Structures are given as structure tokens and as C-alpha cells.
Amino acid sequence: MVIVMKPGATSLQVQHVVDLVNEYGLKDHVIYGTDRTVVACIGDKRSVDKGAIENAPMVEKIVPILAPYKMASLEVKQDKSEIEIGPNKFPIGGNKVGVIAGPCAVESRDQLLRTADAVKAAGCIGIRGGAYKPRTSPYSFQGLGEEGLKILAEARDNTGLAIVTEVIGVEQLDVVVHYADVLQIGARNMQHYPLLEAAGKVNKPVMLKRGMSATLDEFLLAAEYIINGGNKQVILCERGIRTYEKYVRNTLPLSVVPALNDRTHLPVIVDPSHGTGHAYMIPQVSAAAVAVGDAGVIIHPLLDR
């Protein structure tokens, strides 16, 4: 952490900042530049209250140097994690490319079993489908609940596909863990900490989707919550971010894949369906997602009409 003082900061004001820094157990290192004095801080800054320093007199800004996450980082664990999913233990994060496909929501037994057969026949390794749906509108279909989970389990029994399904609250966690192979935590819940903490206590892989406007630090800190709780099986899923663009539902920033691979040992997969919102783009954007990631699993809802 580097603290930049405004021009004209007095030595007393610099000392005040140094005192604050020492109070947090950090060693200070003051550098007098031509235009600015900066205070470099050495030590673990993870618990420092930045606001208190940032609002001290004549402080211009604080510049973080270290990433705020730890157990998700490549520095702590240099070899890439492989996470096995489903009855056939397909390894996510290794050199194989696998595809998980399926509808947005489980709507009926017939719909899902037919879809599962098609997904299996197409060579996919998992099926996705929501039994509990996080709906923007209270007037939309909210999912079949446990009934939907049972249908998914039946599809797994028939096909050997891994079941990936969303858990939208702590209340549903137990029942979803009972049936699913991979728990999905959706973009809107990426920073719902009670759910992240609870997911840290279960023994099932978690697919954590990036929040709609999450930074990489926030994304990896959300993963850190789960790992910190005790569950190391976290799969990161990029699903697009919200920008000013209107020809897609979300802007899919594929550079995130090498950026994450440069920072974390966790496997990264891509969701081109939510990342574009248009069926006609899926084949090409999926190809790009494979190309950018060396290995990776692509998730996309089938359009079953």
C-alpha cells in the first residue's frame, strides 16, 4: 500500500499518517519526491481501514499494491486446481474441454429428460437447469423447487451427466446439495455473503458466477469466502458484464480468462449464453472461449423450441 500526500503536506501531517500506519502494525517507508511525499507501507494490509487513512488531512490517495485475496491466489498455490464433477468425475481445469448445456429452468419432466438426452448425444459432460430461479420480476415463473431437482437427478441417472443447478438462498442449500453435482451461485448472489459462507461448509463443487459489474478482486474475494469456509472446490464462471453496449445482453470480456489464469489456481469457465443473449452468436463465441482458455468448459442453455 502506498499513501500519496497532497503537495504542501507538512511534516506533521506526514507524521500523522505514519502514526496511523504503525497503529495497524505496518512498517512505514517515507519517500520525498520532487512534487509529492509518499508513504510506502510494508506488512499485511488486509485488515487496514483505508477510509480512515484516506480521509486523514492532506492525503491525496491510497494505492493498493497487493491483491486482497490470498487462498485463491497463485502465490499461495502454484499448481492449477482440477475439480471433478458428476458421476463420471470429469476434471474441470485440466486440459480437456467439456460442455455443460441445458435450459434456463426445469419446466417439466418431459422437457428436461428430452433435453438431457440431446445434451448427452451432443457430447456434453453436464446439464444445467434451474429449479430455483432468481427472477428480476416477482411475476415470472420462479421454478419447480425440489420437484425440479428430482427431475434433474433422474436425468443424471439416465445419462451420467453432471447436474449443475443454482442455489439462490441459504434456505435452499441443503436440498440443492442433496441432489446436485455442482452448486451454481449466480451473478446476482456473488456478493451475498451468508450464502458464500454456507457454501464454504458443504462438500460439493461450487460454480461461482461473476457479478454483473464485479471487479476481478471482488470476484476472487467472493471465491475466497467459500475457500475460507473450508470448501476448495470453486469453479469461476465468466458470464458477461454490464456496459453501455446494447446489441448483446451482456458484454463478454474474454480477456478475463488469461487475466484470471495469471492470478488464481481456480479453474475458469465461460458462459456464452448469458454473455451474449443471442442464439446466433453461440457457436462462434463458444469457439472463442475455448481458444482463449486452453482448456475450459462452456456452458450454454439449449434453445429447446
Site for its own copies in 81-110 (CB under 8 A): 104
All cell numbers assigned to 109: 419432466
Question: 2: Cβ–Cβ under 8 A, 6 or more apart, which residues?
Answer: 38, 39, 40, 41, 62, 63, 65
> Hunting for cell 475458469 — which residue is that?
268
By beta-carbon proximity to its own copies, the closer residue of 94 and 169 is 169
DSSP string, 202-224: SSS-EEEEPPTT--HHHHHHHHH
The residues in 180-239 that bind its own copies, with binding defined as CB under 8 A, are: 188-189, 191-195, 212-213, 215-218, 221, 224-225, 228
By beta-carbon proximity to its own copies, the closer residue of 22 and 213 is 213
| Residue from 15, 42, 96, 114 binding its own copies (CB under 8 A) | 42
The residues in 155-174 that bind its own copies, with binding defined as CB under 8 A, are: 168-171
Pair 83, 283: CB distance under 8 Å = no
Q: How many CB atoms lie within 10 A of CB 305?
A: 5
Q: Is 134 in the site for its own copies (CB under 8 A)?
A: yes
Quote the strand ranges of 137-194, DSSP E: 162-166, 182-185
Q: Is 245 in the site for its own copies (CB under 8 A)?
A: yes
Give least dist CB 89 to its own copies, A.
27
Q: Is 153 in the site for its own copies (CB under 8 A)?
A: no
The residues in 5-34 that bind its own copies, with binding defined as CB under 8 A, are: 7, 29, 31, 33-34
By beta-carbon proximity to its own copies, the closer residue of 106 and 168 is 168
Give least dist CB 112 to its own copies, A.
16
All cell numbers assigned to 232: 476448495
- Specify the stretch interacting with its own copies by CB under 8 A; choose among 35-43, 86-94, 150-158, 176-184: 35-43
Pair 264, 74: CB distance under 8 Å = yes
